[in-house]
Amino acid sequence: MFQPRNAIEDPRIVRIGAVAIAALFIALNLVLPLLVVFSEALSSGLHAALEALKDPDAWSAIRLTLLVAAIAVPANLIFGLAASWAITKFDFMGKSLLVTLIDIPFSVSPVVSGLIYVLMFGMQGWLGPWLRDHDIRIIFALPGIVLATIFVTFPFVARELIPLMSDQGRDEEEAAVSLGASGLSTFWRVTLPNIKWGLLYGVLLCNARAMGEFGAVSVVSGHIRGLTNTMPLHVEVLYNDYQYVGAFVVASLLALLALVTLLVKSFLEWRYADEIAAAHRH
Amino acid sequence: MSSIGIPARTTTFRKPSALPGFLPTFAFTIFYLSVVVLIPLAALVIRPWSLGVTGFIAAVTAPRVLAALELSFGAAAIAAVVNTVFGFIVAWVLVRYRFPFKRLIDALVDLPFALPTAVAGIALATLYSQKGWVGAPLSQLGLKIAYTPLGVVVALTFIGLPFVVRTLQPVLADLGLDAEEAAATLGATRFQTFRRVVLPALSPALLTGAALAFARAVGEYGSVIFIAGNLPMISEIAPLLIVIKLEQFDYAGAAAVGLVMLSASFLVLLALNAVQALMLARR
């Protein structure tokens, strides 16, 4: 296992040392925090953990998180498909600028991502007075939470599909159209089968972030218990109330979601490596 | 663009194509991008100036704001350096060596991307508190991490690692062994080869990874606020200050701090592009 093979192999001691340092760093920095979540959730026994799950506020937080993801993920999915079709199947001016603009949300702080919607729709925001006169609530209500979630997950699907579809070129679609297929049936029968695993990969990452987002949602939610608290926000409320078991029980649900996401992600990268975008940088 | 004999049109917005659907998909893309991203960001750029130029400068140079910005940028820089060192070792080991549980470790690197930041936050705060698994032995040694600026560095180190590893991995894999073999044939020791051949080839990727980790860490909120203690002037990060200003309905002040942070992270990415272009030009 640690046998040198040729002149450019590192000395055995370097290799063992490097593997040990890497493993130790990962264990201390990544694995321990994960273990603490489950250990604290079960610190008063399984029964107490299950009791904590019966809290109606926890349930409404779970429902809200699922609802927000059910709106935000399809919205970004449709956007990702439209954007990557326009960008990869056509040549037009300003294309690289458009690709750059799509990536912007990844370099914006989560708190700033929430802040921009407060500046738009908050009481003292641009549209605040008009919204108040028409009795429409966006901030401290579901629409604001959905908007902030859409913003932070905005690039996931598009940035997965753009490199993939750009590698695949246009020949197959052009052949289908020249044989008389309509645009939609070309998309359904030619493009979609080619990109389905990449699409799933993008949706998977988009969903994980949508369900786990904290900073952006925290700014626009108002933290109204049982009403505008998503799961991550409910974790914060319980933790600050010193209800540690409850906080860590909800947190372990989110941690399980993260683990399942990683598992499916690794599987897709291993099984369908050729059918998802080559360079995976998030 | 133009066929022979037909004079080229000087400007066409779009090349002709046999495929349908450009107009609806392009129009929807621009509409959605504008409504969700561009117009709200414009609000961030415009709002702070309602304070006037002097008011804006006063807002972002208040001692509490400066202390928060200093902590956010300083801690992010330290965490980026730590992650560059360990991220390099992790990436090197994953690309070059074979060892047990390699696939598991590779998958775990992405944990900070997948784990919600609030979950990471309460886990780190518990782990490093005085009664925690790591905090207790450290406090025996007189080292306090949770509820101090050190806690901020710990949290930012947690979230930054995958940026360095995932940037380095493909570059290391593509590097090829030819140059290293040539160096070895010419009598270089392994360390000389590493320093003179490997490290220069990797430095653009190392820099990119560090900058991405830094940019992410500057704006990080969820994983930090639980472990930081959040004392004004000492352990209060800039994103938290934005939240506090919003709670006091100081929209313009919050936007001013937000604009400074946004400009700073764009400057980092811009500087990164410039340095990379320089490095490529020099080669």
- pLDDT tens-digit readout, A25-52: 999 999 999 999 999 999 999 999 999 8
Give the per-residue pLDDT at B6.
Answer: 54
pLDDT band (50, 70, 90) for residue A2 = very low
Over the range B33-55, which residues count as b (16 or more CB within 10 Å of their CB) and which as e? beebbeebbebbeebbeebeeee
Q: Which CATH entry fits the domain spanning B53-282: 3.40.50.150, 1.10.3720.10, 1.10.10.10, 2.40.50.140?
A: 1.10.3720.10
A39 min Cα distance to partner chain B (Å): 10
Of the partner residues B21, B219, B266, the one whose CB lies closest to the CB of residue A110: B219
Nearest to B132 by CA among A28, A48, A49: A28
Give the per-residue pLDDT at A213.
Answer: 97
Sign of the alpha-carbon torsion through A77, A78, A79, A83: positive
Give the per-residue pLDDT at A4.
Answer: 47
CA B221-B150-A246 angle, 5° bins: 55
DSSP for residue A11: P
Alpha carbons B210 and B77: distance in angstroms, whole number: 9
Q: What is the ipTM of this complex?
A: 0.92
Give the per-residue pLDDT at A76.
Answer: 97
What is the maximal distance between C-alpha atoms in chain B?
84
Q: Which residue has the higher pLDDT, B2 or A240?
A: A240
DSSP string, A123-185: TTSTTHHHHHHTT---TTSHHHHHHHHHHHHTHHHHHHHHHHHHHH-SHHHHHHHHTT--HHH
User: Are B25 and A122 in contact (CB < 8 Å)?
Assistant: no
Residue written as tokens 């509490």?
Answer: B64
A227 min Cα distance to partner chain B (Å): 19
φ, ψ at B131 (rounded to 5°): -105, 0
Alpha carbons B19 and B17: distance in angstroms, whole number: 5
Report pLDDT digits (tens) over A134-159.
999 999 999 999 999 999 999 999 99
A178 exposed, middle or buried (CB, 10 Å; 0-12, 13-18, 19+)?
exposed
User: Are B239 and A178 in contact (CB < 8 Å)?
Assistant: no
Q: Which residues of chain A lie closer than 8 angstroms to B177, CB-CB?
A: 8
Report pLDDT digits (tens) over A96-111.
999 999 999 998 999 9
| Mean pLDDT, residues A259-274 taken together | 92
Is residue A122 within 8 A of residue A41, CB to CB? The reply is: no
Question: Which parts of chain B sit beneath pLDDT 70?
Answer: 1-11, 283
Report pLDDT digits (tens) over B245-274.
999 999 999 999 999 999 988 888 888 888
Q: Which of residues 86-125 of B touch A (CB under 8 A)?
A: 86, 89-90, 92-94, 96-101, 103, 105-124
Alpha carbons B91 and B86: distance in angstroms, whole number: 9
Rg (CA), chain B: 24
A60 min Cα distance to partner chain B (Å): 18
Say yes or no to pLDDT of A22 above 50. Answer: yes
CA B185-B187-B188 angle, 5° bins: 105
A73 exposed, middle or buried (CB, 10 Å; 0-12, 13-18, 19+)?
buried
Please give the residue of chain A at the shortest CA–CA distance from B72.
A109
Q: Using DSSP, state whether A211 is helix, strand or coil.
A: helix
φ, ψ at B14 (rounded to 5°): -140, 140
CA B279-B280-B283 angle, 5° bins: 90
Is residue A48 within 8 A of residue A245, CB to CB? The reply is: yes
A210 min Cα distance to partner chain B (Å): 9
Q: Flag whether residue B13 sits within 8 Å of chain A, measured between CB atoms.
A: yes
B40 min Cα distance to partner chain A (Å): 5
* A92, β-bridge pairs: B14
B61 exposed, middle or buried (CB, 10 Å; 0-12, 13-18, 19+)?
exposed
Alpha carbons A140 and A229: distance in angstroms, whole number: 10
Alpha carbons A179 and A182: distance in angstroms, whole number: 9
Say which amino acid occupies B5. Answer: G
Give the per-residue pLDDT at B8.
Answer: 53
Is residue A71 within 8 A of residue A207, CB to CB? The reply is: no
Q: Using DSSP, state whether A207 is helix, strand or coil.
A: helix
Give the per-residue pLDDT at B3.
Answer: 46
User: Are A31 and B108 in contact (CB < 8 Å)?
Assistant: yes
Q: Which residues of chain B lie closer than 8 angstroms to A89, CB-CB?
A: 17, 19, 21-22
What is the maximal distance between C-alpha atoms in chain A?
77
Q: Flag whether residue A242 sits within 8 Å of chain B, measured between CB atoms.
A: no
Q: Which residues of chain A lie closer than 8 angstroms to B101, CB-CB?
A: 23
User: Are A91 and B15 in contact (CB < 8 Å)?
Assistant: yes
Alpha carbons B41 and A143: distance in angstroms, whole number: 18
Q: Which of A14, A71, A112 best probes binding to B when mutated, by most B CB atoms within 10 angstroms? A: A112
Give the per-residue pLDDT at A273.
Answer: 85
pLDDT band (50, 70, 90) for residue A282 = very low
Give the per-residue pLDDT at B225.
Answer: 95
Give the per-residue pLDDT at B183.
Answer: 87
Structure tokens at B50: 């309602």
Structure tokens at A231: 């799961």
DSSP for residue B93: H
Give the per-residue pLDDT at A274.
Answer: 83
pTM over 0.80: yes
Is residue B225 within 8 A of residue B120, CB to CB? The reply is: no
Q: Kindly give the interhelix angle for B251-282 and B39-46, rounded to the nearest 10 degrees.
A: 110
Mean predicted lDDT score pLDDT of chain A: 92
Report pLDDT digits (tens) over A70-98.
999 999 999 999 999 999 999 999 999 99
